[in-house]
Structure 1
Amino acid sequence: MLIGYLLVMGYLALGLRILRRRPVGAWQPSRRLSPVAMRRGWPGLIRQVGGSAVGGYVLLMAVVVGYYQGVARVGGRFLASAFTGAATLVGITLPVFLIASWLAVRRRRAAGASGG
């Protein structure tokens, strides 16, 4: 576990170092794909929330399969139940997460507009 933690932290530190050393004239994505353009409006919010939900589900399933197949040697019905249960959980919580994200963005914009 310690080795995995150190590898992840090392990769994150390396990524930060690369970002800080990037030359001024480095390649930039097109305006259409820039982070600012992708975060605007409903399409950007839905893309961000959906990406978080799908990424979280895939990561959870990778951990479940890795642990229960590789370590505990449990499979079959348990893994099928884990996949369907987690999908149900994502389906239930996704609308709540979308509404909470929308309210947070709306509040942030209202605070910025009022000078707060």
Structure 2
Amino acid sequence: MPLAQNISTMLVGYLLVMGILGLGLRILSRYPDERGRLARTAGRGVSRGWAGLIRQVVGTAVGGYVLLMIVLVGHYFGIAHLFGVAHLNGRVVASAVTGCAVLVAVVLPVFFIASWLVEWRRRGRGHGAGR
């Protein structure tokens, strides 16, 4: 792969990720807590319990999948065509869509369990501190 294509691919991916992270921080800064610090949640109507956890995990998975698809399709139709290496037909995009969907399906249960364990540990420490 040519050096210019490597650099441009990395730059596009970096800018997308940093843009999304910056947008997330901007959203969080709209809802500071009582001490003026950034809030832990994005809004006041965040549900708790299993429904909130499932909503957060699925939202994160869908957002990550969409971002990954934007990067892959953007690379294939944008950058790869500039350098003439996109002579493959549309099977590449179809394979990327289905492959990433399988990746999300495999990782989603692991991410859900890890998120639940983090919340369980965090709440366990909070209850123990008041005793």
TM-score in terms of structure 2 length? 0.63
Residue deviations 1:15-39 (CA, integer Å, cap 9, x gap):
48x849xxxxxxxxxxxxx835424
Contact 1:39 1:48 (8 Å CA) reproduced:
no
Q: Which of these residues, 93, 96, 109, is aligned with residue 110 of structure 2?
A: 96
Tell me whether 1:64 sits opposite 2:64 in the alignment.
Answer: no
> Hey, what's the Cα distance between the residues in 1 that align with 2:107 and 2:48?
23
CA displacement at 1:81 relative to structure 2: 0.6
What residue identity is the alignment partner of 2:118? A
Tell me the secondary structure at the aligned position of residue 38 of structure 1.
coil
Residue deviations 1:60-102 (CA, integer Å, cap 9, x gap):
0011101111110335111111000000000000001001100
* Count of equivalent residues: 99
> Hey, what's the Cα distance between the residues in 2 that align with 1:19 and 1:42?
26
Unaligned runs of 5+ in 2: 1-10, 32-41
Q: Which of these residues, 121, 124, 128, is aligned with residue 107 of structure 1?
A: 121
Unaligned runs of 5+ in 1: 21-33
Off by >3 Å, runs of 4+ in structure 1: 34-37
TM-score in terms of structure 1 length? 0.70
Q: Sequence identity, in percent?
A: 52
Q: Which of these residues, 47, 51, 55, is aligned with residue 47 of structure 1?
A: 55
